[in-house]
Amino acid sequence: MSGHRGLLRGALSALRPRQWVKNGLVVIAPAAADRLHQFHADVVVAYSFAAFCLTASAIYLVNDLRDVEADRQHPTKRRRAIAAGEVPTALAVALVPLCLAGALAIVLLSPTAPAMLWVLGTYLVLSLAYSFGAKTIPVIELAIVASGFFLRALAGAVALRLYVSSWFLVVISFGALFLVVGKRLAERHALGEDAAQHRAVLSEYSEAFLRSALTLTATVVVTAYCLWAFDSGSGGLAASHPVVNAIRLTVVPVVLAILYVLRLLENGGGGAPEELFLTDRTLQVLVVLWGLLFVVGVYG
């Protein structure tokens, strides 16, 4: 019986449920559009979230199956269920179509199925392209990984047929690129001279390049977010209106969070955004502060 429980836990771990926190990005556009208090909108967003969870898990399984030998040489990835031998290869292979079938079934239940199929299909194609070769192409691989974050945020807007501002798209795009570049820099710190043995593309990046890219993307994120925040208050409300002030004040926790992550990356940490979000108290406080100001600004 204990072995059976071990297999179940291993199979669940192989789906990487801790990574599902990224799929929370589907909520951002509906929240900004003041739609989350509507039952219909909540149901559609829940469909989108669940569909992305299953699709992403299928991609994680494909990645782990293809990289199993390299993962076994990695100081932390060797603990992954497939690399550690907790999940048989045959079971992992069988779980891939099951996850994709589940995602498809969920999308087809959504009233905006055609649009969601385009978003999920794009995510699936780009992710598979990454797994089957694009991950070795410098810069392009950064863009593909970042596109996963962008498409999650776009899915929430597409699911409800919402208008999305240009600044919102810029913030999400470059914010995602900032996280991916930071992850690559953290990997170089953690793996040192052996970095290229675990991720071949790291041989194409110098620390100087990654630091420059990190500064560039952080600058664009802060600039675009400030423009969005201040532009959000220009819709006929007086500058002294508390709602306008709340939206504009969200700039403070955003800038502090980026500076905090930059400091972590400088010291060799901060390479796993989902882990930071779940474990780092300072970052959690900044996220909560941003959330409170955002709620007041949108719903107040």
CB count within 10 Å of CB 266 equals 13
> What DSSP element (H or E) covers 273?
helix 273-279
pLDDT of residue 2 exceeding 90: no
CB-based contacts of 293, cutoff 8 Å, min separation 6: 246, 247, 249, 250, 253
> What DSSP element (H or E) covers 32?
helix 28-32
Superfamily for 1-164?
A: UbiA prenyltransferase (1.10.357.140)
Angstrom distance (rounded) from CA 100 to CA 115: 17
- Which pair of tokens denotes residue 241? 């209106």
Q: Is 230 exposed, middle or buried (0-12, 13-18, 19+ CB in 10 A)?
A: middle
Taking alpha carbons only, the member of 183, 121, 181 closest to residue 151 is 121
pLDDT of residue 242 exceeding 60: no
pLDDT of residue 247 exceeding 70: yes
Structure pTM?
Answer: 0.83
Give residue limits of the domains in the chain: 1-164, 166-300
Confidence of residue 233 (pLDDT cuts 50, 70, 90): low
Angstrom distance (rounded) from CA 243 to CA 234: 11
What is the pLDDT, as a whole number, of residue 19?
87
- Which pair of tokens denotes residue 261? 């992550």
Taking alpha carbons only, the member of 86, 19, 97 closest to residue 62 is 97
Q: Which tens digits make up the pLDDT trace of 139-177?
A: 999 999 999 999 999 998 888 888 878 888 899 999 999
Per-residue pLDDT, averaged over 112-140, amounts to 91
Confidence of residue 210 (pLDDT cuts 50, 70, 90): very high
Angstrom distance (rounded) from CA 171 to CA 174: 6
pLDDT of residue 135 exceeding 70: yes
Q: Do 220 and 174 form a contact (C-beta atoms < 8 A)?
A: yes
Task: Establish how many alpha carbons lie within 13 A of residue 179's alpha carbon, considering only the half-sphere containing its beta carbon.
Answer: 20
Angstrom distance (rounded) from CA 185 to CA 210: 6
Q: Which tens digits make up the pLDDT trace of 55-109?
A: 999 999 999 998 888 778 777 778 888 888 888 999 999 999 999 999 999 998 8
Selected residue with higher pLDDT from 199 and 130: 130
Q: Which tens digits make up the pLDDT trace of 267-276?
A: 767 666 667 7
Rounded-to-10 torsion of CA 188, 193, 198, 202: 50
Start-to-end CA distance of the chain, whole Å, equals 53
Q: Which tens digits make up the pLDDT trace of 33-61?
A: 778 778 888 888 999 999 999 999 999 99
